[in-house]
Amino acid sequence: DFYSLLSKLLGEREDVVHVHKHNPTEKADSDLVAEIANVVQKKDLAREITNHDERDNTMLVRDRIHKFHRLESSLRPPENRHFSLQQPKRGEGSWEKEHTGDFHIEEAVEWPGLDLKLGQVSGLALDLENNLVIFHRGDHIWDENSFDSKFVYQQRGLGPIEQNTILVLNPSNAKLLHSVGKNLFYLPHGLSIDKNGNYWVTDVALHQVFKLGADDKEPLLILGVALQPGSDKNHFCQPTDVAVDPTTGSIYVSDGYCNSRIIQFSPNGLYVMQWGEETSLGRARPAQFHIPHSLALIPDFSQLCVADRENGRIQCFRLETGEFIREIKHKSFGRELFAVSYVPGGLLFAVNGKPYPGQAEPVQGFVMNFSTGEIIDTFVPLRKSFEMPHDVVASEDKTVFVGDVHARAVWKFSSTEKMEHRSVKKAGIEVQEIKESETIVEARLKNNPESTDPLKKQEKQHFVQQTSTGVSFVLITTLLIIPVVVLLAILVFIRWRKTTVYGADGEHKLDSSSGRILGRLRGKGGAGLNLGNFFASHKGYSRKGFDRLSTEGSDQEKDEDDGTDSEEECSAPPPPPAPSSS
């Protein structure tokens, strides 16, 4: 399985082995978790753990190990590996960058969709096949004459829009694939698509929310009362957007231009709860809105993020309770933030509005790290210019579409380089879907020279270890063989001398000098060699410790003894096997 593969890849890394020697329990587990997180997710997003004081924190180590085992237990079969860990509660853990470097959004200048003849583009979405879906206003426009002071639509005499307001385009060549929505709407606004492919739209003139099948001419569900603004459970006042939870089917509506609330409905359209209030004087507080304009549902974290337009910020809430979680706000947003969109894996896209007089922040698109809220990249079109970008949507391959309500245009943007790594966080956050995990890990090891260095060093160490082991074996063997050879040489010499002294018939044939020497060596025994007498005849030597050694019938016994001694000397434990380089 995937965990086993990563363990094999990382278990023998030089740095991990070093840590094992230093602290074989906590430090090893800490580094293993961190290394696995790097292989899977950098994206990433690139992450290095360099803070040794932090790694020495026992509680943090245990927390990482616990989160990792939760990650391991949530693995699915290889054909659909999508696994995630819940984020820490507010105030717990700490966030780290999810992505760094080598990622930039630029306009796809060859895309012909910019030249389409559209009305005011109010909403964008991607269907189940990643086709681009556009919600536009046809020949209707929203201007100062559209509503009275009580938000009642004043141009009902124009009738509904006669053109198809929902257009489905091929995202590559902008070819029209399908269109619906004729004679249904007055002033379209928000658009989203649920997991079943149904269209969810809002109409600010009708003050209603609609559910449409992809091929249906009539709505499947309508929320709100036509042309009647209100603030109770059954009425909306210029609702702006809809989001549908893919898990529970719950419906969330941002309401809107004249109400400052988020309303939750059951899958059947029954009122469940609401939260939010109008922004008070001074700094806007959490859960206060000044036109909640766009919604982005974050299923990975069970959160709903709202583009709080006139407060120039993003607010995120817990889906189940509506509890405020956090705010994302940057000076570069300016005074207005129109739309927000989330890509599974940790990226948040947004577009702002034109700067107020005296402000310098340009109108542009933003790519943010959802975990930290940090801006990764910004983008602007090369053809034409943003006038009032009203909605943004992005796919998992980092293709981005922006619809402009004033320019009546849709731009396509794409990433110049794919992200290499995914989200990493100290206290547990999601790990993006990986369809071919082994391939990704293998490709990373090939593409990242740093990751292969430990393996090369390991192979080098393995070679050195083998070499040193061979040298030691040869040296020991040589030292053992030398005395055996010397003894054999002495025995051969003695036998040769014996053969020389006695002829074949057994007679004594020593010359005078040889007789004197051999007689001295043989001593009183006559038939044997006594080394004690030989050495004792020389000055400074004593016979103590020397025994009589017979030269007859001793070769075989000596050879056997020598062979046994040699075998015992060479039977030292073999060198430990070299660590696997796999």
| Residues placed in the known binding site | 124, 137, 189, 191, 257, 293, 309, 390-391
Task: Decide if 325 contacts 303 (C-beta within 8 A).
Answer: yes
Burial class (CB in 10 A: 0-12, 13-18, 19+), 174: middle
Distance from C-alpha of 198 to C-alpha of 216, rounded to nearest angstrom: 10
Buried b (16+ CB within 10 A) or exposed e, 489-520: eeeeebeebeeebeeeeeeeeeeeeeeeebee
Which structure tokens are listed for 311? 């407060």
Residue 116, number of CB atoms within 10 A of its CB: 16
Please count the CA atoms within 13 angstroms of the CA of 312 that sit on its side-chain side. Answer: 15
Q: Calculate Rg over the CA atoms of the chain.
A: 42
Give the residue numbers of the binding site for Zn(2+).
Answer: 189, 293, 390
Burial class (CB in 10 A: 0-12, 13-18, 19+), 354: middle
Which structure tokens are listed for 171? 């995202």
> Which residues have a Cβ under 8 Å from the Cβ of 296 and sit 6 or more positions away?
243, 304, 305, 306, 307, 340, 341, 342, 348
Task: Decide if 32 contacts 13 (C-beta within 8 A).
Answer: no
Burial class (CB in 10 A: 0-12, 13-18, 19+), 172: middle
* DSSP three-state, residue 386: coil
Give the residue numbers of the binding site for Ca(2+).
Answer: 124, 191, 391
Distance from C-alpha of 173 to C-alpha of 115, rounded to nearest angstrom: 12
Task: Decide if 304 contacts 295 (C-beta within 8 A).
Answer: yes
Q: What is the DSSP annotation of 45-58?
A: S------HHHHT-H
Give the orientation angle of helix 26-41 with respect to helix 437-447, to 10 degrees: 90
Side by side, which strands form the sheet with 313-318? 292-298, 303-308, 313-318, 324-328
Q: What is the DSSP annotation of 291-333?
A: -EEEEEEETTTTEEEEEEGGGTEEEEEETTT--EEEEE--GGG
Distance from C-alpha of 272 to C-alpha of 268, rounded to nearest angstrom: 11
Side by side, which strands form the sheet with 239-244? 239-244, 251-255, 261-265, 271-275
Which structure tokens are listed for 525? 């025994």
Give the residue numbers of the binding site for a protein.
Answer: 137, 257, 309
Please count the CA atoms within 13 angstroms of the CA of 283 that sit on its side-chain side. Answer: 4
**What is the enclosing helix (H) or strand (E) of 368?**
strand 365-369
Distance from C-alpha of 238 to C-alpha of 258, rounded to nearest angstrom: 7
| Closest C-alpha to 33, from 19, 418, 455, 579 | 19
Which structure tokens are listed for 299? 């299923």
